Amino acid sequence: MHFSIVGSGISGIATAIRLARLGHQVDVFEQHSTYGGKLGVLEMGEFRFDTGPSLFTMPQFVRELLDEDLNQKFQVETLPVLCNYFFSDHSRFQVSSNQDTFVKEAAQFFSENPKAISGFLEKSKIVYDITAPVFLENSLHKLSTYTKPTGLKGIANLWRLEMFKTMNQSLEKRFTNPKLVQFFSRYATYNGSDPYQAPATLNVIPHLEFEYGAHLPKLGMRQIADIMVEQALRLGVSFHYNQKVKSINYHNKMITSLSLENNQEFSTDGVIANVDAKIVYNKLLNIEIPKKIAQAENSSSALIFYWGINRSFPELDVHNIFFAENYKEEFKTIFKTLSLHHDPTIYINITSKVVKQDAPSDGENWFVMINVPYNNGQDWNQITHQAKSLILDKLSKHLKVDIQNHIVCESVLDPVTIESKTGSNKGSLYGSSSNDRMSAFFRQSNFSNQFDNLYFCGGSVHPGGGIPLCLLSAKIVSKVIFEKN
């Protein structure tokens, strides 16, 4: 069969690989001049930046797609330090990738019972073991998922998931130190959600980081897309760049072809959309968005500054977080008032700590990000100007140096440009948020109920955003197609 994939984000590339391995002919249509979606690259003089996802966990989901020699070529550094955390009282906590070391050091730093911390991580693992076969590895929207032994086990253990508590409520019940609660609450941002609204089920996320570690490809995050495309080309996948899809055409319940902006038309036996689901319905199919998808709350977006820095900071690592003092108020600002908080939590990613060629020997490449609301018509020029001032002031106080004096080049990415460059509806990084205990069911399924040969992959659909989940969405799509054909 001949399948067409709209969009060449990592989920689209992974789906292409899997379908090609099943013997199908695959064409990938990409509106930009290159592949990778959010996994882009930016070069400014001697500085190189990965423009999108910066945290790489569960590399096995990439490796299982690759031939043996490509696996050897894909060299990945396992980071000994997961992240440095800077709190509003100017205290700093460095998170070891070794779980036992982390528990010991966290118990001392936060004056917390080590058994409470290790017990939480064990609970996180239990939640993963219960939910992974149902919520992550199979379609939520097929009865067969629930009738399998793993599905029945998941249903029987739903009571253990604390679905009727928020992440924050669950954490406050377990820990006495507000800073430790804030530390674990941060994991809600991994899928663009609010820990004060999102269900405690999301406390599964720390397990993924501590169990599988944080990694960085030795050639940078962009290498993930590079190596996957190399594999796809080996399997005969065809990539069509600068080919924007204008419409997905159908007759009755069957997709028949794609129309491109250059007026070309391609017949196809099926389409996999690696584009935000709302955009697929609204712009490519030109039909009404299904009610549950339309009503789902958008995830947060990001405002990112790419700064070339002309000095090094030994107190910083690859991943660094500078927390807001009032975390709850920050999330309220992002999700309720859809505005910029006066004290934003700042994330700094510095790949040159590992990938030395990403910056001059005496400098660093700073990827500086804050969480912001999705685009709802705000004045992003004004917000960007204000945010930069707040970020520089905060970082300068923490690091005891005037950061502005050390910035030698700059580029900015806001929600508007995120949408235009990646096709993310309103710049939402993860499609819909998880600020509801039923949010997993509100996501677009990996197959269409309206068209027999239309499928969905990527961060806006089941099981969610982030590199591992995007790769799992490709796995689910290929499984659905295999079982159907």
Q: Are residues 326 and 340 in the same domain?
A: yes
DSSP 179: H
Q: By CB neighbour count within 10 A (0-12 exposed, 13-18 middle, 19+ buried), where does 55 fall?
A: buried
DSSP 135: I
- Please provide the distance, in angstroms rounded to a whole number, between the alpha carbons at the two ends of the chain: 9
Q: Are residues 287 and 327 in the same domain?
A: no
Q: Are residues 203 and 252 in the same domain?
A: no
- Decide if pLDDT at 105 tops 70: yes
219 in any annotated domain: no
Q: Label residue 140 by pLDDT band (50, 70, 90).
A: low
Q: Label residue 462 by pLDDT band (50, 70, 90).
A: confident
At residue 297, the pLDDT reads 87
At residue 139, the pLDDT reads 62
224 in any annotated domain: no
Q: Are residues 317 and 278 in the same domain?
A: no
Whole-prediction pTM value? 0.93
Final residue of a structural domain among 162, 194, 212 = 212
Q: Are residues 336 and 417 in the same domain?
A: yes
- Decide if pLDDT at 136 tops 90: no
Q: Are residues 146 and 78 in the same domain?
A: no
Percent of the chain surpassing pLDDT 90: 80
Q: Are residues 43 and 159 in the same domain?
A: no
Taking residues 91-116, report their average pLDDT.
97
231 in any annotated domain: no
436 in any annotated domain: no
Q: Are residues 331 and 426 in the same domain?
A: yes
Q: Give the start-end residues of each E strand in 37-186.
A: 41-44, 47-50, 76-78, 81-86, 92-96
How many Å apart are CA 166 and CA 172, to the nearest integer?
10
Q: Are residues 314 and 398 in the same domain?
A: yes
- CATH code of the domain containing 475: 3.50.50.60
Q: Which residue has the higher pLDDT, 431 or 233?
A: 233
22 in any annotated domain: yes
220 in any annotated domain: no
Q: Are residues 92 and 58 in the same domain?
A: yes
- Kindly report, residue by residue over 420-444, the tens digit of the pLDDT: 888 888 999 988 888 876 665 567 8
469 in any annotated domain: yes
Taking residues 235-259, report their average pLDDT.
97
Show the domain range for 180.
101-212
**What is 314-371 written as a DSSP string?**
TT--SEEEE--S-HHHHHHHHHTS-S--SS--EEEE-GGGT-GGGS-TT-EEEEEEEE
Q: Label residue 159 by pLDDT band (50, 70, 90).
A: very low
- CATH code of the domain containing 333: 3.90.660.20
User: Residue 308: what are its φ and ψ, rounded to 5°?
Assistant: -85, 120
Taking residues 470-476, report their average pLDDT.
95
Give just the sign of the alpha carbon dihedral 420, 421, 426, 431. Answer: positive
Average pLDDT of every residue of the chain: 92
- Decide if pLDDT at 154 tops 60: no
Q: Are residues 200 and 135 in the same domain?
A: yes
- Decide if pLDDT at 158 tops 60: no
321 in Cβ contact with 84 (< 8 Å): yes
At residue 157, the pLDDT reads 55
How many Å apart are CA 171 and CA 154, to the nearest integer?
23
**Residues contacting 428, CB < 8 A, separation 6+:** 192, 276, 298, 299, 300, 301, 374, 415, 460
356, two tokens: 């030395």
- Kindly report, residue by residue over 269-285, the tens digit of the pLDDT: 999 999 999 999 999 99
Query: Is the preceding peptide bond at 463 cis, omega within 30 degrees of 0?
Result: yes
- Decide if pLDDT at 143 tops 60: no
435 in any annotated domain: no
CB count in 10 Å sphere of residue 51: 21
- Kindly report, residue by residue over 177-192, the tens digit of the pLDDT: 999 999 999 999 998 9
Final residue of a structural domain among 385, 406, 430 = 430
84, two tokens: 């440095």
Final residue of a structural domain among 212, 227, 258 = 212
How many Å apart are CA 429 and CA 185, to the nearest integer?
19
Q: How many domains does one find in the chain?
A: 3
Q: Are residues 56 and 164 in the same domain?
A: no
Taking residues 392-412, report their average pLDDT.
98
